Amino acid sequence: MCKINKKRKFREGEKKKKSPSFVRKTIYRGIRYCIMMDRDVYMRRGLLGTSTGIAEETLQPYEIGRFAYVPGKIVYCFTIIMESKVIETPGLLSRMLESFKRRGISLVHIKASRQYKDQPPVLVLFADMTKRLEALSDIVRELKAMEYVKQVIISAPLFNGFALETNLFPLTLLGERVIILRRTLYEAFLKELRSILGSGYASLMYYTGLEMGRKAFRYHYEIAGRDLKNTIAISEAIFRIVGYGIMKILELDLSIGRARIRVHHCFECEIFKNSGKPSSHLIRGMIAGWFSELLRRRVKAIETRCIAKGDKYCEFLVMGRR
């Protein structure tokens, strides 16, 4: 028994209504065309950089930490808290340093924290006071008398040669609290977690990273004023300065939901070198979460290259899912 295809007969002058699927396809084609046009404009304006590598010879480790260790010396720490107007005042830093230079006192370490919203600018100086302890009170008096200096705090050495700044807490980045884990600690954490969870380790780290990536995109997008080019620049920069690695978005096609990302010195994969297989789960999840928020749909992130299996860098392919 065959099915009868009943077609509606249209009266003369009556227009046939387009099906919902046809309308959806038409709208999608229009959106895709607009996105592709925008992408061309973005590419011409340099939304995505053309460089695919990094200049290893220009990379230098940056030692963090507010302490100084100079064996055999008496080192004092000066914490100088300033008003926000100091940013607009040229020459103040040179006058501060002159207080030490004039007395023949060497500065063995300098740290500065920039102003963020209501947080005041802070300058931390570590000075070798071995032969000039008597000048301590005079230096403090001079510093306090300077314009826009709110407070000067002195920290005596814990022992000869070792001074530590302990008044600035908590550590923050963009106004939010951060913690620091040395490799000894995060390597122990990740390896022990993998040992305990076994096959469940990869899923746990991936889905944790997924949510981290989503939140990172939202925050970076707001900071960037909802501009995609600036969002990419901020995300790549923060990824680097917090120590995850050096990330570069090499390809981005918004029309089909596809991207290629390269990461040099991935902290997660470095600790699993010589494992012979792709080892990024947390970072891979973060990348997937970031792009899922950008594309407003589920994505799949695959690590196609990895330093853990002998490649020079890690590379990820992101593909949108229907």
Q: What fold is seen in the domain 67-177? A: Alpha-Beta Plaits (3.30.70)
Give backbone dihedrals phi and psi of 260, rounded to 5 degrees, phi first: -125, 125
Nearest to 295 by CA among 250, 252, 257, 249: 257
- Longest Cα–Cα distance of the chain, Å, equals 110
**Is pLDDT larger for residue 1 or for residue 273?**
273
pTM (two decimals) = 0.81
What tens digit of pLDDT does each residue of 19-33 get?
544 444 443 443 343
Rounded mean pLDDT, 34-52: 45
Amino acid code (one letter) for 292: S
For the 181-320 domain, the top CATH level (class) is alpha beta
Q: From CA 204, how far away is CA 207, in angstroms rounded?
A: 6
CA atoms within 13 A on the CB side of 97: 11
Domains of the chain by residue range: 67-177, 181-320
**Locus of tokens 């038409």:** 26
What tens digit of pLDDT does each residue of 105-164 get?
999 999 999 888 888 999 999 999 999 999 999 999 999 999 999 999 999 999 999 999
Q: In angstroms, how far is CA 144 from the centroid of its own chain?
A: 35
pLDDT category at 237 given cuts 50, 70, 90 is very high
- Report the DSSP beta bridge partners of residue 163: 68
